[in-house]
Structure 1
Amino acid sequence: MFSNKVVLITGASSGIGAATAVRFASESAKLALTGRNLENLQVTAQKCQEKNNLKPLIIKANLDLDGDVKYIIDITIKTYERLDVLINNAGIFFVSNPEDANMEVYDKIFSTNVRSIYLLTSLAIPYLTQSKGVVVNVSSLAGLRPFSQFIPYSMSKAALDHFTRCLALHLAPKQVRVNSINPGLVPTDIFRRAGIPDADVELIFEKSKESHLLGRAGTVEETAEVILFLASEKSSFVTGETLIMDGGCHLNTTAL
């Protein structure tokens, strides 16, 4: 399905990004994988290579640094000479609310979850235009439904969703499609990296059995399948979409 196509995935060192990389590798994609943790990126790359015998391009980079963002695009094009799919997966999460007035956390969230994606995508547009490519943004249910416990994070994902719609409108004449996937709870390290104790993380996912109507959280593999769909020709007439994948959580008004 993706033979000879170049797929750039951010946040590929763990979680949804790593699972997505492996899934695309199984479809013979040529991969450019970026993240901050080089050791984890190498683990992901090895799993990908076992799928298709193609060695992914590994790019250790910090998306909060403009120079690193430019380098990601430059080295990808230098290596593969094209770009067909951009998957903006990297993101961070912190519990922060207006009473905290923690503007450092607020700025950090928006720098990673919005600003870096805007810049990376902008730099990728000329190459995606040439290939009539696809952008898939990994957002969150929090971008479409209000959650009072993590307002800055929810705001950042709402901004990402509207960027998806605006960019889809802008790039449609160039035959470049842009969509978002909006997962509910999916077991990754995002909560632990935010400093939330393991016991609290376990409680969050235990509660997902009630908040998600299908009685469980999602998986990284399920998320990767939806990302693959949005990037593939199977969704060739889909653009500007924010596709909810949350086991019915958005229908459960008691969970909001």
Structure 2
Amino acid sequence: MFSGKVVLITGASSGIGAETAREFSRLGASLVITGRNKENLDMVSQNCEALSPDKLVPLKIIADIQNEKDIEKIIETTIQHFKKLDVLVNNAGILGTGTIETTSLQQFDTIMETNVRGPYYLTMLSAPYLIISKGNIVNVSSIAGLRSFPNSLAYCVSKAALDQFTRCIALELAPKGIRVNAVNPGVIITDIHLRAGMSKREYDEYLVRCKESYPIGRPGDTKEVSSVITFLASDAASNITGVTLSVDGGRQAMCPQ
């Protein structure tokens, strides 16, 4: 499905990004995978090579999406190596907790730099190459961009901004042949909550509560998100752009609780 296509995935060293890299590899894509953790990125690269029909080795780039020079390096290295870009997956993101009374400007800035400013700049630099290839962009947002939740203010604001970014550039780039969409996962079993400061016990209790707060009675799996990302990036979604597609077990359809 993606044979001959070059796919760039940020935050590919774990979670949704890692599973998305594996899924694109199964489908024959040539990959550029970025992340901050070299050991994890090496492991994902090995997974991808083993899954690739042609045993393609991903191009690995250690980079922090908060760093402008790293973002520039991602694009420069990708084009130097592959000479083109077909799909950009803006997946790298972080979660933080806090209310308007307890959060800090530092937390707000860090989350916005990672979840919004980084994808904004990377997309800006990618656009000229995607115009040439008539490629597409998939942003990994969150149900928190569509619904309000307590104690995650900066995160919710960042994902709402990413959703609006998706819609705006979809309108701007459609005449040039580029599609732009977002996936909006609900709770997906990854380590993002633990990295945000939850204890293992708190996280386990949180997952139990998902059985009641999610209509399908459980949190989601990374494969359930990666399959939607590859669909949106494929020709099967050729008439879809400007969409924020929930992958949340029906959570966004429920009354707040």
Q: Same fold (TM over 0.5)?
A: yes
Q: Indicate if the aligned counterparts of 2:145 and 2:160 stay in contact, CA closer than 8 A.
A: yes
Uncovered stretches (5+) of structure 2, i.e. residues with no partner: none
| Aligned mate of 2:142, from 125, 140, 143 | 140
Matched residue, 2:185: 183
- Tell me the TM-score normalized by structure 2: 0.98
- Provide the rounded CA distance (Å) in 2 between the counterparts of 1:209 and 1:189: 19
Separation (CA, whole Å) in 2 of partners of 1:254 and 1:204: 16
Shift in Å, 1:254: 3.9
Residue matched to 1:194 = 196
Indicate yes or no: 2:50 matched with 1:50. Answer: yes
List aligned pairs for 1:203-222, cutoff 5 A.
Answer: 203-222=205-224
Three-state SS of the structure 1 residue aligned to 2:79 is helix
TM-score (norm 1): 0.98
1:72 to 74, 81, 86: 74
- Match of 2:61, SS state, is strand
Question: Retained in 1: the 8 A contact 2:97–2:103?
Answer: no
Q: Does 1:10 align with 2:7?
A: no
In structure 2, what is the Cα distance between the partners aligned to 1:158 and 1:18?
24
User: Are positions 1:39 and 2:44 aligned together?
Assistant: no
- Encode CA deviations 1:154-188: one digit per residue, 9 max, x unaligned: 00000000000000000000010000000100011
Q: After superposition, what is the alpha-carbon deviation per residue over 1:17-48, rounded to whole angstroms, capped at 9, x for unaligned? A: 00000000001100000000010000000000
Q: Distance in 2 between matches of 1:15 and 1:27?
A: 19
- Tell me the amino acid that sits aligned with residue 43 of structure 2: V
Matches within 5 A, 1:1-256: 1-52=1-52, 53-255=55-257
Please give the per-residue CA displacement for 1:116-171, whole angstroms capped at 9, x wherever unaligned: 00000000000000000010000000000111220110000000000000000000
- SS in structure 2 of the partner of residue 49 of structure 1: helix
Structure 1 stretches of 4+ with a deviation exceeding 2 A read none
In the TM superposition, what whole-angstrom CA distance separates every residue of 1:173-219 from its partner, at most 9, and x where no partner exists?
00100000001000111111111111111111111111110001110
- Preserved CA contact (<8 Å) 2:26 2:48: yes
The amino acid of 1:237's aligned partner reads: N
For structure 1, the 5+ residue unaligned runs are none
Question: What secondary structure does 1:100 align onto?
Answer: coil
What's the % identity of the aligned pairs? 50
Is the 1:211–1:254 contact (alpha carbons within 8 Å) kept by the matching residues of 2?
no
Task: Tell me how many residue pairs correspond in the alignment.
Answer: 255
Note the C-alpha offset of 1:101: 4.1
**SS class of match (1:253):** coil
8 Å Cα contact 1:90/1:113 also seen in 2: yes
Report the 3-state secondary structure (helix = DSSP H, G, I; strand = E; otherwise coil) of the residue aligned with 2:64. coil
Please give the per-residue CA displacement for 1:203-251, whole angstroms capped at 9, x wherever unaligned.
Answer: 1111111111000111001100000000000000000000011101112
SS at match of 2:210: helix
Where 1:214 maps in the other structure, the secondary structure is coil
* SS of the residue 1:135 aligns to: strand
Q: 1:114–1:156: 8 Å Cα contact kept in structure 2?
A: yes
Q: Match for 1:192: what amino acid? A: L
Over residues 51-90 of structure 1, what are the superposed CA-to-partner deviations in whole Å (9 max), with x where a residue is unaligned?
Answer: 1100000000011110000000000010000000000000
* Matched residue type, 1:29: A
